[in-house]
Amino acid sequence: MNDTLVNRIFNKLSLVLLLFSTAYISIILIISWLVDIQQVYIYGITEWTEQFPAPIFWLHIFREASLTEYFQWLFLGISVMVSACCWWMHDRNSSAVSWGWALLTIGVLIMVLEDSINLRHKLSYFLSEHFYNGVVGTYEWNKSSFRSIIEVFFYAILGGVMTAALYLLWFSDVLPSKGKYYLISGYIIYGIAAAASATRNIGDWYAKTGGHILDTIIGERNLDWSGESVVFFRDPLGFWFMDHVVEESLELLGATLLLGALVILISFQRPLHESAH
């Protein structure tokens, strides 16, 4: 199998991944519109939704450790391995490029840990136990500026690592044009999701924005819930709409584009023994 054929296959694979995630999000949103807003009965889905105390499809299909997040973890996990392979395959004599792949691998690994075990929450909890002037774990602590600052700092560090990797790789000759487009698109979309998540409690803008969107979607319909309804914890559904539907959709698209970029990029790498000739 020649290099041109391999490149074509990997280019198609990246497009297939993007189409899959786009179709998945679109189908889930259509089902949510039918089940949650139009209150249409869909066999299996309606029963699954009604098992929860708050029978709202979008609230559970996009929640933490749901099918949507499983796809994110899968794509980010594969991205770590592909990025590590690119680093291993590249000529170590090119220190800038080698550092670029290494930083990208580290950055994506941090993203996997953040998505799967809530790394930033663990960090904020640890630092709060030592420096927060109040009771850790309360609703007030959860909404505090102290915690928001920690989360913004966490994402700033992660963003710095990822930006440094992008800078080192972008101006090298190892990135084909299509791979660059996928990579920068993934960076932008994931960056928007990260910035939104880190600042979600500042001015309570998540709850306000999500509430407005939900109330606009619901309109004059008489449902058992609205954007201001509190179904669990003390945050309204508007907050969870932003946290679940908007944020998780952006993160899945970002993870898909990142993996798509890496799938393209690895097809252009050469093993060390080949690059030596």
Q: Alpha-carbon distance 87 to 94, whole Å?
A: 11
Structure tokens at 13: 């694979």
Helices 3-32 and 67-89, axial angle in degrees (round to 10): 160
Which residue's entry shows tokens 């009604």? Answer: 50
Model confidence over 84-122: pLDDT tens digits?
998 888 755 568 888 999 999 999 999 999 999 999 999
Task: List residues bridging with 230 in a β-sheet.
Answer: 236
Q: Using the Cα atoms of residue 107, residue 174, residue 273 and residue 3 in order, give the sign of their dihedral.
A: positive
Q: pLDDT grade, residue 269 (50/70/90)? A: low
Q: Alpha-carbon distance 195 to 247, whole Å?
A: 10
- Give pLDDT, residue 277: 44
Q: Alpha-carbon distance 53 to 189, whole Å?
A: 33
- Give pLDDT, residue 115: 93
Structure tokens at 223: 């449902």
DSSP 71-133: HHHHHHHHHHHHHHHHHHHS-TT-HHHHHHHHHHHHHHHHHHHHHHH-HHHHHHHHHHHHH-S
Which residue's entry shows tokens 């913004």? Answer: 152
- Give pLDDT, residue 92: 58
Q: Alpha-carbon distance 44 to 51, whole Å?
A: 11
Q: Is the pLDDT of residue 188 over 70?
A: yes
- Mean pLDDT (the chain) is 91
Which segments within the chain are labelled E, that is strand? none
- Give pLDDT, residue 3: 61
Q: Is the pLDDT of residue 272 over 50?
A: no
Q: φ, ψ for residue 236 (rounded to 5)?
A: -70, 165
Structure tokens at 275: 């690059």
Model confidence over 221-263: pLDDT tens digits?
999 999 999 987 789 999 999 999 999 999 999 999 999 999 9
- Give pLDDT, residue 86: 87
Structure tokens at 141: 């602590």
- Measured between its terminal Cα atoms, the distance across the chain in Å is 20
Instruction: Identify the three-state secondary structure at position 53.
Output: coil
- Give pLDDT, residue 27: 98
- Give pLDDT, residue 195: 95
Which residue's entry shows tokens 């139009």? Answer: 38
Q: Alpha-carbon distance 190 to 204, whole Å?
A: 21
Query: Is the separation of the CB atoms in 238 and 208 below 8 Å?
Result: yes
Query: Is the separation of the CB atoms in 228 and 156 below 8 Å?
Result: no
Q: Alpha-carbon distance 110 to 112, whole Å?
A: 5
Which residue's entry shows tokens 């972008």? Answer: 170
Q: pLDDT grade, residue 205 (50/70/90)? A: very high
* Amino acid (1-letter code) at residue 90: H
- Give pLDDT, residue 1: 46
Q: φ, ψ for residue 169 (rounded to 5)?
A: -85, -35
In 3D space, the residue among 239, 229, 249 whose CA is nearest the CA of residue 202 turns out to be 239
